[in-house]
């Protein structure tokens, strides 16, 4: 499940990053150059780990935590470290992705991957 999630998420993020350069989505989403590059880089990383279940699980956890932090910051400020601007829809999307990544990252250990459980505790 984690590998498939990383393939889908990686593809969506790379495409979203590229689309942000072509279609700025002003008013709905704030996709700055930094935001687009971040989407492309995290998408490429997700695709890079998608062939390995343990790496997919670990990346889903890490990714979920990072996106959760960004989403929480979006509740309190529009400008995150001067790098990205967050509209309410951006924050909602970041929360959704974070929750999904965390659920998949932590649920995967209980289902098929006993080896990773030993290594992570």
Q: What ranges do the domains of the chain cover? A: 2-120
Give the predicted TM-score (pTM) of the model. Answer: 0.80
Mode of pairing for the β-strands spanning 84-85 and 79-80 = antiparallel
Q: What is the pLDDT of residue 31?
A: 76
Q: Six-digit token pair at 6?
A: 């990383």
Sorting pLDDT into bands at 50, 70 and 90, what band is 98? very high
Q: What is the pLDDT of residue 114?
A: 46
Sorting pLDDT into bands at 50, 70 and 90, what band is 28? low
104 versus 23: which is more confidently predicted? 104
Contact 55, 116 (CB under 8 A): no
Q: Six-digit token pair at 49?
A: 């780990």
């Amino acid at each position: 499940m984690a590998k498939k999630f990383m393939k889908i998420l990686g593809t969506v993020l790379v495409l979203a990053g590229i689309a942000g350069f072509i279609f700025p989505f002003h008013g709905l989403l704030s996709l700055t150059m930094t935001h687009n590059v971040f989407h492309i880089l995290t998408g490429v990383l997700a695709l890079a780990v998608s062939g390995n279940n343990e790496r997919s699980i670990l990346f889903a956890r890490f990714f979920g935590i990072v996106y959760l932090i960004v989403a929480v910051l979006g509740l309190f400020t529009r400008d995150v470290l001067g790098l990205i601007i967050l509209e309410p829809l951006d924050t909602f999307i970041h929360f959704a992705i974070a929750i999904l990544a965390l659920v998949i990252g932590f649920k995967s250990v209980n289902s098929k991957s006993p080896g990773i459980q030993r290594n992570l505790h």
